[in-house]
Amino acid sequence: MCLDRLVGYAKSANISAGKLSAAIVKNGRLYIQPCVNTQRNTCRGSMCGSLHAEQNALLSFFGKDIAYSKINGWYLCSKQERIKKG
């Protein structure tokens, strides 16, 4: 059933190249609504031509707990680290 939903979301993507979808799944249960590739110029300081479905799903699931730096790339940051950065 999860696979059917992912296929349906992928078909509805409005990006012309690479109609893909992704979601966070555990024990066959979806934790978030499936995400698709989207066209963007930047995402949290990272330059990108598009936001891949996998990145989109992780950003949706982790919210502000995920960040980007030129040195480390994408990483999970702690609540303490977010407080220090303001």
Q: What are the boundaries of each domain within the chain?
A: 2-85
- Considering the entire predicted model, what is its pTM? 0.68
11 or 80, which is more confident? Answer: 11
pLDDT category, 85, cuts 50, 70, 90? low
Convert the pLDDT of each residue in 32-81 to its tens digit.
Answer: 888 887 776 677 766 666 777 888 888 888 888 888 777 877 788 876 55
pLDDT value for 79: 60
CA–CA separation, 78 vs 86, rounded Å? 13
Cβ–Cβ under 8 Å, residues 66 and 57: no
